[in-house]
């Protein structure tokens, strides 16, 4: 049997956990590098048995695709079965991550994106693990054929070819340096309004090409700009709730732009507004630290059930004190703020995702789709379906 110290080194090298279990899928144990909690392999006996059964039947290592975009691996060595995963082949939306955690009955308070891995890297990992355990070599083509991955491999290679061609054609294009980008982002985080105006213009003029179509490039750049500025503003002391609210505003403005000039101006205004928000936050904090912490808690936990007692315990004050402080600072009840925050998040998902109304309702933690519909209409003056039909851009349907 291979020393588990070698397998632990393999875990560390690839960055994904490896577990081992008996033929029945019971007594699953970790090699020790990664914690056993929050992994479908440790909480789902059905998943383990499915992996082990498939591995025994095909007599070669298993690359198992679950939830359409997430992969698990299984290699047999004697009477033991070594299981690994999950890894994602492509980016998952927040809703998809939420559904993934829900499917495998994992705690949704610790949701995180599975580690990403290309198909080639998956094949290399499984092949290496198999050779390490069994001393036998297995070709990637055999792995793909036995695991019905031929079509996925071809699709991946086609996408890789397109990427390489783009790299070749754009090799001479000037991309702004990391330092130039860092200057702008540092200005936002520090609330330095004067410097951000000077540095933003140079950065926007020298950005890399994000689309062959100039308007689409500028639009994509505006989305990236908003995302980066949001993160830097939070790092600069702005509450996540306020930063995301300004982010929502600019995302909506991006939709309204019809010319290159409007989009470029919006890019510059985005940098300025986030920098000004940081500066204003540092000068005058109108809210108490308890209210700020409460907003932060809600922005991080809005897709779970939130109780006043839990927020108060996390902050370290009594529920009554927190409720009074929040009402005095904002003029609204905490429960109303939570409802409004959830509706705003749902509105973004309706515009920029293909998630169903039921999935969105579940993600933002409404009791039912009908309850979601009534609360959404109360705030947005239209149903979720009407909102999606009115604001969802055509490219998000394809």
- What average pLDDT does this structure show over 349-374? 90
Last residue in a domain, options 115, 135, 163 = 163
Mean per-residue pLDDT, 195-222: 61
In-domain check, residue 388: no
Residues in the chain: 398
Q: CA 340, 189, 279, 176 torsion: positive or negative?
A: negative
Q: What is the pLDDT of residue 319?
A: 92
Bridge-based pairing of strands 70-77 and 29-30 is unpaired
* Half-sphere exposure (Cβ direction) of 300: Cα atoms closer than 13 Å: 15
Q: Is residue 25 part of a domain?
A: yes
Name the domain count of the chain.
2
pLDDT band at 202 (very low <50, low <70, confident <90, very high): low
Same domain? 116 vs 11:
yes
Q: Which of 33-37, 63-67, 156-160, 299-303 has the lowest mean pLDDT?
A: 156-160
Q: Is residue 172 over pLDDT 50?
A: no
pLDDT band per the 50, 70, 90 thresholds, residue 397? very low
Q: Determine the structural domain holding residue 264 and report its residue range.
A: 178-283
Of 244, 264, 283, the residue at which a domain comes to its end is 283
Q: Is residue 51 part of a domain?
A: yes
Nearest to 303 by CA among 331, 338, 270, 262: 338
Judge residue 362's burial from the number of C-beta atoms within 10 Å of its C-beta, 0-12 exposed, 13-18 middle, 19 or more buried. Answer: buried
Q: Are residues 143 and 220 in the same domain?
A: no
Alpha carbons 271 and 260: distance in angstroms, whole number: 17
Count the neighbouring beta carbons within 10 Å of the beta carbon of residue 163. 10
Helices (H), 135-283: 140-146, 150-169, 178-190, 193-205, 214-235, 240-256, 260-283
**Within-domain flag for 271:** yes
Residue with tokens 């495998």: 104
Number of H helices, E strands in the chain: 19, 6
Q: What whole-number distance in Å separates Cα of residue 169 and Cα of residue 80? A: 50
Residues 138 and 191 occupy one common structural domain: no
Q: Are residues 151 and 207 in the same domain?
A: no
* Residue 394 forms part of a structural domain: no
pLDDT value, residue 203: 58
CB atoms within 10 A of CB 147: 22
- Reported as a pLDDT band with limits 50, 70 and 90, residue 35 is low
Predicted pLDDT at 310: 92
Q: Please count the CA atoms within 13 angstroms of the CA of 138 that sit on its side-chain side.
A: 25
- Which of 283, 301, 325 terminates a domain? The answer is 283
Structure-block tokens of residue 113: 């994106």
Q: Are residues 91 and 185 in the same domain?
A: no
Calculate the alpha carbon distances from 295 to 69, 247, 298 in Å.
33, 16, 5
Whole-number Å distance between alpha carbons of 350 and 378: 16
- Residue 385 counted as domain residue: no
Q: Are 57 and 125 contained in the same domain? A: yes
> Residue 43: phi, psi to the nearest 5?
-100, -20
102 with 41, same domain: the answer is yes
Q: Which of 17-31, 90-104, 181-195 has the lowest mean pLDDT?
A: 181-195
The confidence score (pLDDT) of residue 174 equals 36
Among 122-136, 216-230, 245-259, which is the least confidently predicted range? 216-230
Say how many C-beta atoms besides its own lie within 10 A of residue 235's C-beta.
Answer: 15
**Residue 290 pLDDT exceeds 60:** yes
In-domain check, residue 392: no
**Are 152 and 31 part of one and the same domain?**
yes
The pLDDT value recorded for residue 208 is: 45
Beta bridge partners of 29: 20
Residue 395 lies in a domain: no
pLDDT at 7: 85
In this structure, are 150 and 190 located in the same domain?
no
What is the overall mean pLDDT for the chain?
Answer: 80
Please check whether residues 159 and 17 belong to one and the same domain: yes
**Dihedral sign, CA of 308, 100, 390, 266?**
positive
DSSP 99: H
Q: Mean pLDDT throughout 382-395?
A: 82
Return the CA Rg of the chain: 25
* pLDDT: which is higher, 342 or 280: 342
Dump pLDDT digits (tens) for 310-345: 999 988 889 999 999 899 888 899 999 999 999 988
| Each residue's pLDDT tens digit, 58-94 | 889 999 988 778 999 999 998 889 999 999 888 777 7
Residues 229 and 137 in one domain: no
Residues 48, 127 share a domain: yes
Q: Out of 126-135, 250-259, 305-314, 359-368, which region has the weakest mean confidence (pLDDT)?
A: 250-259
């Amino acid at each position: 049997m291979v020393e588990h110290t070698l397998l632990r080194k393999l875990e560390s090298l690839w960055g994904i956990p490896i577990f081992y279990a008996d033929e029945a899928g019971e007594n699953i144990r970790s090699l020790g590098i990664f914690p056993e909690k929050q992994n479908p392999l440790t909480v789902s006996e059905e998943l383990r048995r499915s992996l082990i059964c498939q591995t025994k039947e095909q007599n070669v290592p298993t690359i198992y695709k679950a939830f359409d975009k997430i992969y698990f691996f299984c290699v047999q060595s004697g009477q033991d079965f070594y299981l690994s995963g999950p890894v994602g082949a492509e980016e998952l939306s927040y809703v998809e991550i939420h559904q993934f955690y829900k499917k495998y009955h994992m705690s949704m308070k610790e949701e995180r994106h599975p580690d990403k891995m290309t198909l080639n890297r998956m094949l290399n990992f499984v092949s290496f693990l198999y050779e390490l355990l069994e001393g036998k070599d297995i070709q990637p083509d055999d792995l793909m054929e036995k695991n019905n991955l031929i079509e996925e491999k071809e699709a991946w290679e086609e996408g890789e070819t397109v990427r390489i061609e783009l790299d070749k054609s754009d090799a001479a294009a000037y991309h702004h340096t990391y330092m130039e980008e860092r200057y702008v982002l540092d200005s936002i985080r520090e609330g330095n309004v004067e410097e951000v105006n000077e540095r933003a213009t140079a950065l926007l003029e020298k950005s890399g090409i994000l689309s062959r179509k100039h308007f689409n490039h500028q639009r994509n750049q505006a989305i990236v700009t908003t995302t980066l500025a949001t993160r830097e503003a939070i790092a600069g002391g702005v509450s996540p709730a306020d930063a995301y609210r300004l982010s929502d505003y600019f995302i909506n403005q991006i939709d309204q732009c019809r010319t290159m000039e409007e989009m470029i101006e919006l890019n510059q205004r985005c940098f300025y507004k986030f920098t000004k928000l940081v500066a204003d936050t540092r000068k005058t904090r109108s809210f108490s630290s308890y209210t700020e912490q409460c907003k932060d808690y809600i922005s991080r936990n809005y897709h779970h059930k939130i109780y006043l007692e839990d927020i108060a315990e996390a902050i370290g004050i009594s529920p009554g004190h927190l409720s009074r402080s929040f009402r005095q600072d904002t003029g609204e009840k905490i429960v109303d703020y939570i409802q409004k925050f959830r509706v705003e998040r749902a509105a973004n998902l309706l515009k920029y995702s293909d998630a169903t109304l039921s999935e969105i309702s579940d993600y933002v933690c409404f009791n039912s789709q009908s309850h979601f519909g009534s609360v959404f209409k109360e705030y947005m003056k239209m149903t979720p379906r009407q909102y999606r039909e009115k604001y969802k851009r055509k490219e998000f349907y394809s």
